[in-house]
Amino acid sequence: MAKKNFATGSAAAVSGGAFNEASGSNAAVSGGSFNKASGDRASVSGGNSNYATGGHAAVSGGWNNEAKGETASVSGGYKNEANGNTASVSGGYSNKAMGTSASVSGGIKNIASYYNSVVVGGQRNKASGYSATVLGGKGNTSTGSDSSVSGGTKNKASGKFSSVLGGKNRQATKFNSVNTGE
């Protein structure tokens, strides 16, 4: 059976692999299999079943990743999504960067859902406040604007400019509050 690739977009290109499609204007798929670049100027470098649907979006590799936002990117991993404009996921499993300029560096099932929110790693962490950050751990949430959780388990920073430095089941709920995890 022939391994067909399709470059149907204006000035689109598929340079290798099998069953790849570049349908966006100036879109490109470099290799791998079952990859699709449908956004204008979108690209998929390789891997399997990756999708770059946003304009200027890019997926470098991995499996079943999707860059939906404008200039969004997924570097690799499995089942990761960069939905926000200029959002990025570096790798890991089932991570989502949904806010504008949101970022998830890796880990498992982490979500950065608001503008400039960041999850560096860990498992099932959520950064949903403006410029909120979770550095790692498990089940941590940072919902306040400019709030942060440095690690630990099931910690929550919900106050504006609040921080939880670690521990378990710790909270920082007031403006500019800090919980040291002791």
Tens digit of pLDDT for each residue in 98-151?
Answer: 999 999 999 999 999 999 999 999 999 999 999 999 999 999 999 999 999 999
**Cβ contact 145:157 at 8 Å:** no
d(CA 106, CA 157): 21
Count, residues in the chain: 182
Of 72-76, 108-112, 123-127, 177-181, the least confident: 177-181
pLDDT at 181: 73
DSSP string, 42-94: -EE-SSBS-EE-STT-EE-SSBS-EE-STT-EE-SSBS-EE-STT-EE-SSBS
d(CA 26, CA 1): 28
Q: Tell me what percent of the chain is helix, strand and coil, each rounded to the nearest 5.
A: 0, 30, 70
pTM: 0.95
The two beta strands, 13-14 and 58-59, are unpaired
Which percentage of the chain shows pLDDT scores above 70? Answer: 99
The two beta strands, 21-22 and 36-37, are parallel
